[in-house]
A = this chain, B = another copy of it.
Amino acid sequence: MKISDLLNQTSEWLKGTGPNAEIILSTRIRLARNIEGKPFSNWAAKKQATEIFEEAIQGLMDVKTLKTGMVLVLKDVSLVDRQFLVERHLMSKEQASHPENKGVVLSKDEVCSVMVNEEDHLRVQVLGSGFNLRKCWEMADKLDDQISEKITYAFSLELGYLTACPTNTGTAMRASVMAHLPALVMTKRIGKLLEAITKFGLTTRGLYGEGTEASGNIFQVSNSVTLGQSEDDTVEYLERFVKQLIGHEENARRTLLTQQRGELEDRVWRAYGVLRAAHIITSNETIDLLSTVRLGVDLEIIKEIDRRVVNELFIATQPAHLQKMEGKELTPPERDVKRAAIIRTRLAG
């Protein structure tokens, strides 16, 4: 399997299936793990980092779930390909920008992935479609068990899993959902909800993780507590909160439909019209318009396109995806032209 093969498959989390997929795009479980007796990645000398890398890759290649997938040694992966993996949510931006002694191991369907030598020696990820915290956690737990048969983790009976950053120590788990909340934004209720999220000990981020802004009305909501509660507790707590969040978004959508139907339809059709017509379009404008179109599809205002087509466009229109499809590097203005062309083609049917 090669990186290019991914171009022809839809990431599981973009399929637009799974519970509450009209609001929750995807669910992610991420576990931070470190190898016993080795310094954390950022403290490791070069030689140690290489040893960690080799030990980790060796172990992961033996893991059943990952065996049929791909092992990527990042220093051998081009910048565009690394960005491509970031856009598919298979790797962090930090991991992509410093490839030395770093790697990513993927399952064939991209649902499971492990970053090697990111902040921690291993960052195990399960990324699924829709609102599926429990299932994703079970998969992550299973994958974690498989890996622990090959690699001995740094673990303290008192603290739990030891991590490079103390805020992750304990379960070292971050459970998160990617929520599409356009109606809460349009009805200006989002502000209070984001405040509540923080008050409830949860964190919100943008589409591409820490330090990125929420664009396209997409918000990542995750736990911030990892110490003093079990993974099941964390999952249950987040699940309960996200259910409420879904309820609020559904309410806001109903409000829009009953009180501002005309304006909403106008907005949705205009966004769709611009996407189908533009010949030059930036990534930011694309994401904002796609968000509005997705709302229109979810509310059955637009019936002629599938949610999956819209979901895929969120990723297909990102810089590295455009360049992979074109098979060569593109300048930002060239990308704006290519992006518009791809959108027109896909939305034309």
Leading 9 A-B pairs by shortest Cβ distance: A273-B277, A266-B279, A266-B280, A273-B273, A269-B277, A265-B279, A270-B277, A270-B278, A273-B274
- A263 an interface residue at 8 Å Cβ cutoff? yes
- A276 an interface residue at 8 Å Cβ cutoff? yes
- A330 an interface residue at 8 Å Cβ cutoff? no
What does the 1/0 interface line of A238-274 toward B look like (CB < 8 Å)?
0000000000000000000000001101100110111
Count residues of A near B (Cβ-Cβ below 8 Å).
17
- A29 an interface residue at 8 Å Cβ cutoff? no
> Is A273's CB under 8 angstroms from B280's CB?
no
Contacts A262-B337, A337-B262 given; indicate if A279 touches B273 (C-beta within 8 A): no
Distance (whole angstroms) from the CB of A285 to the closest CB of chain B: 11
Q: Name 26 A/B residue pairs within 8 A (Cβ), A-sorted.
A: A262-B279, A262-B280, A262-B337, A263-B280, A265-B279, A266-B278, A266-B279, A266-B280, A266-B281, A266-B340, A269-B277, A269-B278, A269-B279, A270-B274, A270-B277, A270-B278, A270-B279, A272-B277, A273-B273, A273-B274, A273-B276, A273-B277, A273-B278, A274-B274, A274-B277, A276-B277
User: How many copies of this chain does one complex carry?
Assistant: 2
Interface centre among A263, A274, A279, A337 (most CB of B within 10 A): A279
Q: Which residue of B lies closest to A333 (CB)?
A: B262
Once the chains are docked, how many angstroms separate the CA of A281 from the CA of B273? 14
Give chain A's interface secondary structure class: helix
Distance (whole angstroms) from the CB of A152 to the closest CB of chain B: 57
Distance (whole angstroms) from the CB of A7 to the closest CB of chain B: 26
Additional A-B contacts beyond A266-B279, A273-B274, A273-B277 (9; CB < 8 A): A262-B280, A263-B280, A266-B278, A266-B280, A266-B281, A266-B340, A270-B278, A273-B278, A274-B274
Once the chains are docked, how many angstroms separate the CA of A265 from the CA of B265? 26
Q: Within residues 72 to 127 of chain A, which ones have a CB less than 8 A from any CB in chain B?
A: none
Q: Provide the residues of chain B in CB contact with A277, threshold 8 Å.
A: 269-270, 272-274, 276
Distance (whole angstroms) from the CB of A183 to the closest CB of chain B: 18
